[in-house]
Each structure stands twice: as C-alpha cells, then as structure tokens.
Amino acid sequence: MTQSSMKEPIGFIGLGDMGGPIARNMTKGGFDMRVFDKAGTAERAADGATPAQSTADLAATCETICICVPDGKISCSIAQEIIDAPDRITKTVIDHSTTGVQDSEAAAAMLAEAGVTYIDCPVSGGRAGAAAGTITMIWAGPVALLEEHRSLLDAASGNIFHVGDNAGQGQTVKLLNNFLSGTAMVATAEAVAFGVSRGVDMKTILDVVNVSTGMNTATADKYPNRILTETYDAGFRSELMNKDLRLYVESVTEAGTESRVGRMISETWNDVDKARPGSDLTEVYKHITERD
C-alpha cells in the first residue's frame, strides 16, 4: 500500500470503548472506513463509516484491516476468520488490542502463513485519549509499512513509536507501561489514604506531590480529576487492568526478569476486580480505603 492508495477502503473490527473512537477519528480524517463489531455494527459505526456484515466481508474488500478487541484470544480468532475468508485481498492486519506477547506472536505466525503481515500496534491513553485522537500507538512491525500507513494512524493518534520489527515487542512496551500505570494507581491510593488518615486534605496532598518527586500519572490526572471529584470515570475498567497485569507477570516470568513488585500489584488488581466487578480502575482508591 502506498500513500496514494490510502484512499482505498480500510477495515476496522471492534468498535468498543477504544476501537469506536479510533475508527471514528480515522473516518473524520477522510478515510473510507468499513467497520464491523459482533456486538452490533450499525449502532456503533461512526457517521460516514460503512457497516460491514462480517470479518469475511472486510477481508474481501480491504487490503488493510485494523483490530481493536478485548484480548488476544479474540484477535487470534479474527486472524483465523481473515485467513479463511473467500476472495480475501487483505495484505496487512494492524492490531491495536492488548493481546499479550504470546497471542501476538501466534496471530503473526498464523497470518504470515497466509501471506498477510501482522502488525503488533497496541495503544495507550485511555478512552478520553482515543476520543480526542491523542493516544499513543506502539508499532512493532516493518518500518516501511508504518510509513505507508502513517497518515491513517495520524488521524487517530498523537504519538506513534516504532519499537521493533517483531510481533510481541509492541505488547512488551504496552504491558510494562500498564504495569507502571497500575502500580502508580495502587501506590498513590495507599499514600493518599495515609495522608488523609492524618487529617491532611486530599487536594493539599496532591498539590504538594505534583510539584515534588512523588508526582506520577495517578497524582497528576486520575486522582485530582476522577477521584477527588468522586466521578470515578477514567474509562478503563479494573477488569482490563487486571488482565494486563496478569499478562505482564506471565511475560516477565517467561523472560526470566524480576517480578516481585509485578506479582504483588497484579494480585491487588485481581482483588479489585473480584470485589468490584465492572468497576472503573479509579475505584481502586475505594478498595484500598474501604477494606474491613
């Protein structure tokens, strides 16, 4: 695909909390988007996008298909559907899902046998970033393909990084990022709870920390904007953080690097998800402060 051929239809599968806004911004960017979601395409499709009937429909009409689904098993299932599609013309699959290293490598191997290039390209920035078109895209795949698709990605992203040529490397960076983010959320909950227990106002704590060495993404964003306000609406579920931390620990264990902190943080998010099913990740503060 060349820059000029970006006018050709682009397929997009998965129109949920992240995929929906990403596909919408690509549509707003002037691309001919053909979209599909098994949970309901017509009601989730952005104005200007063309609803498709199936994955096979997209594979028969789009050389490039983007995916944004909840986990790696679904990504691998979609990869198989693309492989099995009659009259397939798809040449490139760009997966924005957080699949984990192993499923990313598996999807890449499956598609490679069918002559399709798989790009491991998870995203970071949350639902608000996806809506604003400011998310980070973490590309692991050939640089030449990145440049050919850059205008498409630019329509939905504020930052694009090439982190390697191989599937799994994008997942590596995404998972370590979410480990750091999840750690900041838990550590900040404990720290703020300690300060409040001593009679210090939460806003005051955050004001001090955010101009001091303890500042992090939780103290700078989630706590002042989602927890202090008691809206608890960051738009990323505890369930997904639990999944990402589990994948992180699995990948670290396989790599043989240190995972003591990772295991502890993963256990905490597992506890949050069990105690508060369906919760926003910012409700980790309630979990920490409301324990018996």
Q: Which of 166, 195, 222 is the last residue of a domain?
A: 166
Q: For the residues 111-115, what does the mean pLDDT come to?
A: 97
DSSP assignments along the chain, one per residue: --SGGGGS-EEEE--STTHHHHHHHHHHTT--EEEE-TT-STTTSPTTPEEPS-HHHHHTT-SEEEE--SSHHHHHHHHHHHHH-TT----EEEE-S---HHHHHHHHHHHHHTT-EEEE--EESHHHHHHHT-EEEEEES-HHHHHHHHHHHHTTEEEEEEEESSTTHHHHHHHHHHHHHHHHHHHHHHHHHHHHHTT--HHHHHHHHTTSTT--HIIIIIIIIIITTT----S-BHHHHHHHHHHHHHHHHHHT---HHHHHHHHHHHHHHHHSTT-BGGGHHHHHHS--
In degrees and rounded to multiples of 5, residue 134 shows phi and psi of: -115, 5
CATH number at residue 219: 1.10.1040.10
Report residue 5's pLDDT band, with 50, 70 and 90 as the boundaries: very low
- Judgement on whether residues 140 and 190 belong to the same structural domain of the protein: no
The domain in which residue 86 lies consists of: 4-166
Cα-to-chain-centroid distance, residue 186: 20
pLDDT in tens, 134-174: 999 999 999 999 999 999 999 999 999 999 999 999 999 99
Q: Which of 97, 132, 166 is the last residue of a domain?
A: 166
pLDDT in tens, 227-263: 999 999 998 999 999 999 999 999 999 999 999 999 9
Q: Which of 128, 143, 166 is the last residue of a domain?
A: 166
Query: Rounded to an integer, what distance in angstroms lies between the CA atom of residue 105 and that of residue 169?
Result: 9
As a whole-number percent, the residues of the chain with pLDDT over 90 amount to: 93
pTM of the model: 0.92
Query: Rounded to an integer, what distance in angstroms lies between the CA atom of residue 265 and that of residue 166?
Result: 28
Only one residue has tokens 């960051």, namely: 234
pLDDT in tens, 258-287: 999 999 999 999 999 999 999 999 999 999
Report residue 2's pLDDT band, with 50, 70 and 90 as the boundaries: very low
- Judgement on whether residues 152 and 198 belong to the same structural domain of the protein: no
- Give the per-residue pLDDT at 6: 60
Q: Compute and round to an integer the Cα radius of gyration of the chain.
A: 20
Report residue 4's pLDDT band, with 50, 70 and 90 as the boundaries: very low
- Judgement on whether residues 148 and 248 belong to the same structural domain of the protein: no
- Judgement on whether residues 137 and 88 belong to the same structural domain of the protein: yes
- Give the per-residue pLDDT at 7: 64
Q: How many domains does the chain have?
A: 2
Report residue 9's pLDDT band, with 50, 70 and 90 as the boundaries: very high
Output the CA torsion 145→147→148→150 (10° steps): 110
What single-letter amino acid sits at 232? Y
pLDDT in tens, 177-225: 999 999 999 999 999 999 999 999 999 999 999 999 999 999 999 999 9
